[in-house]
Structures are given as C-alpha cells and as structure tokens.
Amino acid sequence: MITPWDLLPFALIGLFVWFWMDSLKTREIALAAARKACERVGHQFLDETVATERTRPARNAEGQLCLRRVYRFEYSDTGDNRHRGAVVMLGRAVDVVQIAGMLELVTSSPTRSRLH
C-alpha cells in the first residue's frame, strides 16, 4: 500500500525540477532585458550574463503570488569601466530594469513609464 509519505520524495524532486527549469527560463528573459536596456542607452553589456541576487515570494499587478527575482549585471559606458545594473522579474515578466541611475518600469500596467 502506497502512503502519502511514499510519494513525498517524488513530489519534492518534481518541485525542484520545476523551480530549476522556471529559473533558467526567467534568467534568459532577464538576460535579454539587460542586453536590450544597454543597447537602448548606448552602453556595452559586459560578460553577457546576469547573476541572481535574491529570490522571494511577491504579488504581481493582478495580485497573484509569484517569485520576485533580482538579477545583477555589469555594463560599461566608456569601455574602460564597470557599473552595476539590475533586472527585477515578477514571475516571468520583467518588472524593472535599472541602469545608469535610471529606472525603467516595464510592467504591463497602464503606468508604464521611465523614471530618472
């Protein structure tokens, strides 16, 4: 007879695989957003990578529970220096891109704007 405790290891493995696959896809989206933001302001996107800084639960604009991930990246405005930028993701949606002291709100809400 199979008990719920027998299925727990499989459920945990499934949850881990889902989290890993979701994190890979979200990282790809954050990488593209960072690259595009650097191109838009004329900066060089360094190392062609983003790094996860933190992950925590949050609510999106519709009030749904999702993961809020913050990714850091480096860019150069002159070619001989390094600055840090950030991409904030809510679920798989880009929420904010921070670069060169500028925040760009990328949410799909009607308040989409650029803050300086």
Domain span at 23? 4-115
Q: For residues 30 and 67, is the Cβ–Cβ distance under 8 A?
A: no
Q: Is the pLDDT of residue 109 over 70?
A: no
**pLDDT tier for residue 106 given thresholds of 50, 70 and 90:** low
Statement: residue 19 has pLDDT above 80: yes
Q: Structurally, how many domains does the chain consist of?
A: 1
pTM greater than the 0.95 cutoff = no
Sheet of strand 65-76, all strands in order from the earlier edge strand to the far edge: 44-59, 65-76, 83-90, 93-99, 102-105, 114-115
pLDDT at site 112: 41
User: Hunting for tokens 């990328």 — which residue is that?
Assistant: 106
